Amino acid sequence: MAQVISELRRVLDGDTAPAGLTETDLLELYRRMILLRTYDERSVVYHRQGRIGTYAIFWNHEAIQVGATYPLRDEDWIFPSYRESAIGLVRGMPAETVLQWWRGHPSGWWNPADWNVASISVPIGSHVPHAAGLAWGKKLRGQDGVALAFFGDGATSEGSFHEGVNLAAVMGAPAVFVCNNNQWAISTPLEAQTRAESLADKAVGYGIPGVRVDGLDVLAVYDAAREAVERARAGGGPTLIEAVHYRAAPHATADDPRAYIDQERVEEERARECVGRFERFLKRLGVLGDDHVEAARREAEEALRAGIAAAEAEPPASASLLFDHAYVDPPPHLRDA
């Protein structure tokens, strides 16, 4: 049914975690958020040191990424955009693999079937039909498995978004579509993207459920994703989740948002950033101790130290790789170079 729940779902303002989450789950969610936060912060430093290339920052998007993927099982597929480049880490992918991707090294091109994590999509929205197709294929083959795709607010203006979500809806494919609405597509604001009151409203046009969540509330995102994944698994077809927040960091390391962004909104958003907010909730519940915080940070820092060392220890890729798959018969100036 195409019901859209427009009220922003929130959990962290209260004092109870969603049913079904144990203390171990809560600490694991926290561990994953720290891992992604550390990955992101270290990557900006590595970029400044010239050790990785241009990097799409996901600072304060961790609640969406961790919350949405937590209800998934290993057989379920994740389709990331560049904004979720390190999402494989929640499945145990080594940090060096993702760092190598940002270094343009072929060892960063993982085999999607090894992790059930599709290749990072840089073209906006082109992976939405891929997720729909994989989910539909699972259904046709009678196999278990859900496909979850992440994309931004800007992606909802792309034809491939409409084609993918509509196809999944018509075929009753077990897909979950997570729109990371950070309200900016580089320097294009959401108002220039749509006349719809909310992006979740678009679900009505496809005849599927739509839900809006506070994108800085990991448990609200988790809860909406859990419902969507359960519905998909039970044959109920896809769901569109809109996770709402306000981008609090540059689009990428090559961007200077001071030219266009509302700096006051950024400061407000930074003050309620998602890791600290979850940390305060867990402390209020008496679940998180200083030892957990310390251990999660140490583990993440170590994973990044080892990751960059392993990435830099690999021999550089051959420059010919740039052209190997571009030409059957290379033009003479490349053949002779």
Ligand X SMILES: Cc1ncc(C[n+]2csc(CCOP(=O)(O)OP(=O)(O)O)c2C)c(N)n1
- Contact residues toward Mg ion (CB under 5 A) are 152-153, 182, 184-185
Residue 219 contacts which entry, ligand X, Mg ion, none (Cβ below 5-8 A, type-dependent): none
Q: Which is nearer to ligand X, 60 or 97 (CB)?
A: 60
Q: Which is nearer to ligand X, 174 or 215 (CB)?
A: 215
17, 86, 95, 185: residue in contact with ligand X (rule CB under 6 A)? 185
Residue 124 contacts which entry, ligand X, Mg ion, none (Cβ below 5-8 A, type-dependent): ligand X
| Cβ contacts of 63 within 8 Å, gap of 6 or more | 33, 215, 216, 217, 218, 221, 243, 274, 275, 277, 278
The pair of three-digit structure tokens given for residue 196, joined into one six-digit string:
């719809």
Residue 277 falls in the annotated catalytic set: no
- E-strand ranges in 199-320 read 210-214, 239-244
DSSP line for 127-149: HHHHHHHHHHHHHHTT----EEE
Please pick, among 61, 103, 105, 247, the residue that the annotation labels catalytic.
247
Residue 132 contacts which entry, Mg ion, ligand X, none (Cβ below 5-8 A, type-dependent): none
Query: Which of 55, 30, 61, 32 is CA-nearest to residue 42?
Result: 55
Residue nearest ligand X, CB atom distance: 152
* Beta carbon of residue 154, minimum distance to Mg ion (angstroms, whole number): 5
184 touching ligand X, by CB under 6 A: yes
Show contacts with ligand X in window 76-105 (CB under 6 A).
83
Residue 333 falls in the annotated catalytic set: no
Residue 73 falls in the annotated catalytic set: no
List beta partners, residue 241.
Answer: 178, 211
40, 62, 96, 153: residue in contact with ligand X (rule CB under 6 A)? 153
The pair of three-digit structure tokens given for residue 209, joined into one six-digit string:
């459920």
- Label residue 16 left, alpha or beta by phi (over 0 means left) and psi (-120 to 50 means alpha): beta
Is-contact 239 227, C-beta < 8 A?
Answer: yes
Q: Which stretch binds ligand X (CB under 6 A): 31-39, 116-124, 261-269, 294-302?
A: 116-124
Q: Which is nearer to Mg ion, 155 or 288 (CB)?
A: 155
DSSP line for 300-312: HHHHHHHHHHHHH
124 touching ligand X, by CB under 6 A: yes
* Beta carbon of residue 80, minimum distance to ligand X (angstroms, whole number): 11
The pair of three-digit structure tokens given for residue 59, joined into one six-digit string:
């600072």
Rounded distance, CA 278 to CA 292, Å? 13
Rounded distance, CA 209 to CA 176, Å? 10
118 touching ligand X, by CB under 6 A: no
Please pick, among 260, 305, 327, 335, the residue that the annotation labels catalytic.
260
Residues of this chain that interact with ligand X (CB under 6 A) are 83, 122-124, 152-155, 180, 182, 184-186, 251
Positions marked active-site:
247, 251, 260
